[in-house]
Structure 1
Amino acid sequence: MPVLRNFFAACAALLLIASCSLPRGAALQSEVLNESSAENPSFQVVSVTRANMPAIASWPRTGWENEHEWPGTSSGPSSNVISTGDQVDIVIWDSQENSLLTSEAEKSTLMSGVEVGPDGAIFVPYVNKVYIRGLTPAAARTRVQEQLIQIAPSAQVQLKLTQGRTNSVELVGGVAAPGAYQMPSRNYKVLSLIADGGGIQPSLRNPRVRLIRGGATYEISASQLLESGARNTLLRPGDTVIVEQDDHSFTALGASGKEDLIYFPKDDLAAMEAISLMGGLTDFRADPKGVLVLREYRVKHLRSDGSAPRMQQVVFSFDLTSADGLFAAKKFLINPGDTVLATESPITSTQTVFGLVGTVFGLTRQASTLSNL
């Protein structure tokens, strides 16, 4: 009979469902953490609560490449200091008759574009070398005049400084006018350089400022640089300042509104904010008790006393069904390179099976009804 054949077909379908796993868009929490109960697990599981958040917050932050602390501000001399490669224009006035430095028709002589040598000295006729490196223009004028006293007691000196390439700094990218900038004084600071370059382009995502000085690289977000004058560091000749957008990101996976590489909109991004950027947890799919953050630490970060992770790979677990878990997620910081996984609720598979069963038996009842007509 057709009804009987439909019934057996429905039973076969149920057996097939029971023998095969249903397709899912995300893993279950138990599947991910299954290995943690093994005798020798390869990763560490940490259930994040308000009680252990202070300890976790003290663990090393991962994903930030530059380990040098941003240099603080300091004060330099208010005037320029002469360096090797600078040039000076010297005007010598001497009213004395038969002067070695001037003629009867001209009571002044100009020495233009005299370069400060590698030894820090300039050459002045009849005096030889005068060492002026490290002096301000005013102090250098006085020193040149003092050296001239022995041949021209009444001589007066004027001195003008033109800074060389060694007294410049480079501004690269992320501003309206990048390029090399002469330092107007030794009190030239990072924010002044950025302002001279036209300011940071507003289109940059969470712009960051990088300072390359010698063999060290320092980095800070523009927002942190702007919020405190203590971070407006004093520039040195030869510094390079780079302005660029933030490319740090985390990976969003699982039963969330968005599965993608998500860039940091700011430096300190809490787990709750990360979930929001992911589009939240998917209704009827996600397990709010199984939000996981996967992170890798360096070997040098490992400790066995609880002050740091004891294993390189760590899975942080959050229960967002409790106030304790919600508050912990508001404090827990996501690091660049983390993976935030919204696991799937085990109830979802059960509901799917019941739905299929209901559909099958509904078809069976319909077939029985039709056969009785």
Structure 2
Amino acid sequence: MLPGSGPKTGSVMDADRSERLRNIKVIDLSQQVVTQLAQAQQQLLFSEVFNTVQQPNLLIGAGDILEVSIWEVPPALFSGVFIDQRSGAGATQKITFPEQMVTQDGTINIPFAGHIPVTGKTTRQIESVITGRLNGKANQPQVLVRTVRNNTANVTVVGEVASSTRMPLTSRTERLLDALAAAGGVRQPVSKMTLQLTRGKTVQAMPLDHIIRDPLQNVVLQSDDVVTLMHQPLSFTAFGATGKNEEVNFEAQGISLAQALARVGGIQDNRADAKGVFVFRFGQKAEEGLTAGMPGASSLYKQPVIYSVNLRDPASFFLAQNFMMQNKDILYVSNAPSSDLQKFLNMVVSVVYPIVNISNAVQ
């Protein structure tokens, strides 16, 4: 009948023995458990998933704008004269054709060369095709093809950025942070941002500050990549005999159990059971063999799990430093058994003391 903030330590530890709570696993935190959880929760790095070292040659597509220039030795097929001052008396003739957009059928038109197929080719390949078409017509032609505007090889940047944009790719091999800079940066603190890169059917996310700190994760972008900046406030909720009971936000890179306890003011010395510190985690992947006294197994399952920590054991503080909190975790600290006695005595005093005062007053 005494008031309380939640179940006692014994009730939580026996949860997996209860018929009503038989689907809940109670796991004592140990070095083996922490190690296996760290392996199970380890995220793949961008450098492992998107391991392209260099950007491939940008290929021309329909909608791109090209400029074609042709040099000839006199007498020239094309009109227009360009004098190279460094060549002294020698001279070449040059003509630059108006900019052309690659048509839907993937061609551009060059006089005396006809329709040139350019889709799926690099500028050097297009130069070779045009040169081949002009051999025998122009006098020792030299061709230069330049991409004026790239409308097909782009990266899309969306999410919590200053301005969503489509960034054209160039031969300088743009990277993730280049795309972020092109979008004007993020609108939220870097420590609270997650960057997600979508390439084809592959989707991978990492905390933004990890990408900034590790140059290997600033991977080279590919055409049609989608870069999404997400502000996802992660949080855990603290209940029981902690310094404060509230929902606490934490950074995208995550925090440890030790940090979580510090952010809620630790445990209350006058009422907390240091043996009864628990983390409730629902729907989290857990190692099937991670039960008290059992070796870890390789198979995984999803079910509610309660991780138990005994803070009376000095070694548990090292475990708490390596046990990472997850989004929507519940941190609960149970009351010590002696707190019930203190509550009972307070109730007795609160009832008896007024009676004694009245009796004394009457006498």
TM-score (norm 1): 0.79
Tell me if structure 1 keeps the 8 A contact 2:24–2:306.
Answer: yes
Tell me if structure 1 keeps the 8 A contact 2:309–2:316.
Answer: yes
1:299 and 1:174 map into 2 onto residues whose CA distance is: 29
1:301 and 1:122 map into 2 onto residues whose CA distance is: 60
Partner of 1:342: 333
User: Which moves more between the two structures, 34-43 or 218-227?
Assistant: 34-43
- Compared with structure 1, are the counterparts of its residues 249 and 368 closer, same or farther at alpha carbon in structure 2 (3 Å cutoff)? closer
Q: 1:328 aligns with which of 304, 315, 319?
A: 319
Q: Secondary structure at the match of 2:97?
A: strand
Q: Percent identity?
A: 23
Q: 2:63 aligns with which of 44, 61, 85?
A: 85
Report the alpha carbon displacement of residue 318 of structure 1 after superposing the two structures with TM: 0.7
Q: AA paired with 1:36? A: D
- Give the superposed CA RMSD: 3.5
Tell me if structure 1 keeps the 8 A contact 2:175–2:219.
Answer: yes
User: Which moves more between the two structures, 196-205 or 150-159?
Assistant: 196-205
Q: 1:74 aligns with which of 53, 57, 64?
A: 53
2:221 and 2:75 map into 1 onto residues whose CA distance is: 48
1:366 and 1:80 map into 2 onto residues whose CA distance is: 93
1:140 and 1:311 map into 2 onto residues whose CA distance is: 56
2:61 and 2:318 map into 1 onto residues whose CA distance is: 57
Deviations 1:238-276 (A, max 9, x none): 112122323232222222233333222242321111112
Tell me if structure 1 keeps the 8 A contact 2:190–2:208.
Answer: no
Larger Cα Rg: Structure 1 or Structure 2? 1
Tell me if structure 1 keeps the 8 A contact 2:236–2:328.
Answer: yes
User: Which moves more between the two structures, 286-295 or 129-138?
Assistant: 129-138
Structure number with greater CO (CA < 8 Å, separation at least 6) is 1
Query: Can you give the 5+ residue segments of structure 1 that lack an aligned partner in the other structure?
Result: 1-20
Partner of 1:27: 7
Tell me if structure 2 keeps the 8 A contact 1:291–1:341.
Answer: yes
Q: 1:239 aligns with which of 222, 225, 248?
A: 225
Partner of 1:224: 210
1:103 and 1:56 map into 2 onto residues whose CA distance is: 72
Partner of 1:279: 265
Figure out how many residues of one structure are paired with residues of the other and give that number: 346
- Compared with structure 1, are the counterparts of its residues 244 and 38 closer, same or farther at alpha carbon in structure 2 (3 Å cutoff)? closer
Q: Secondary structure at the match of 1:166?
A: coil
1:89 and 1:55 map into 2 onto residues whose CA distance is: 58
TM-score (norm 2): 0.81
Report the alpha carbon displacement of residue 73 of structure 1 after superposing the two structures with TM: 5.0
Deviations 1:310-334 (A, max 9, x none): 6722111011122022222122111
Partner of 2:179: 193
Q: Does 1:307 align with 2:297?
A: yes
Query: Can you give the 5+ residue segments of structure 2 that lack an aligned partner in the other structure?
Result: 82-92
Report the alpha carbon displacement of residue 231 of structure 1 after superposing the two structures with TM: 1.0
Partner of 2:88: none
Q: How does 1:79-228 map to 2 (within 5 A)?
A: 80-94=58-72, 99=77, 101-102=78-79, 109-117=95-103, 120-185=106-171, 187-201=173-187, 203=189, 205-228=191-214
